[in-house]
Amino acid sequence: MTASMFVKLFFRNDFLVTFRPPNAYQMTKKLKRDQLPAAKAKNWRQNFKEEINKTFNLKLPKVILEKTTYLALAGENENRVRIYLGLEQKQEEGKYTLCAFAVSAFLLGSGDVYADYETPVYKLDKKNIDFSNNTKEAIESIRLYRKWRIGELDPDDPGAAYRQYIYPNAYLLTKFELHELFMAQKKDEALIEFGISKTMSAMISPLATSANQVEFSNTESDEEDSEPFDFMEPCPPFCDERSLYNS
């Protein structure tokens, strides 16, 4: 099973609404582009809460993106916004605190590669702070997070070895969700909330003995000795809609 941390934007003023159980109207209404179904968002949140007791040992403050910050980063060319995760330098009660920085990303050439502008850069605190004259501190914060992500900050923590497979370095937001929040619905602030998406994956590895002669114990020793591969593309989205077996 693969697990990846995703980010979703919600209106700050309507934050409590997003936690209501899905009713019949929510289950049937048409979703906007890039909008999560209520049940899926609920599942992501629940998955994230489970990781707090396993791999996520950071303090998590509110991460806010302001409309003025979005407009400054998007600019006249409507650039995309990339959010980098970082850590505050000082620990509180023995824990590091997660933080985030936003930069402007422009399309490089005709492909799907987006490159970052060095400035402006904003720290997404309760009130967004322009760090354009303090990029060194922003970079140090981002690097500290990456040390946590790969388990260097606390190698003895049981969950440290697994973080790099769950938590990304950054997120490239789409134009559509930000335009919907700030322009179409005229919100002044948006809350960035984290969730974890889980999908069961299939692994394939060589079998040392005949399948008829071995009992699969799935012990930790068996897992360490195997050399699994994962080049499988799940359905959906990689499906043959015309297949008899996909009917």
Q: Among 104-118, 130-144, 227-241, which range has the highest average pLDDT?
A: 130-144
pLDDT value at residue 88: 98
pTM for this prediction? 0.81
Amino acid letter for position 204: I
pLDDT tens per residue across span 162-215:
999 999 999 999 888 999 999 999 999 999 999 999 988 888 888 766 555 555
What are the sequence ranges of the domains in the chain?
Answer: 2-199
Distances (CA, A) of 228 to 19, 201, 216: 39, 12, 15
CA distance 204 to 200: 13
> How far from the centroid of its chain's Cα atoms is residue 16's Cα?
21
CA distance 96 to 86: 10
Query: Residue 94 has which token pair?
Result: 């023995």
Is the separation of the CB atoms in 240 and 246 below 8 Å?
yes
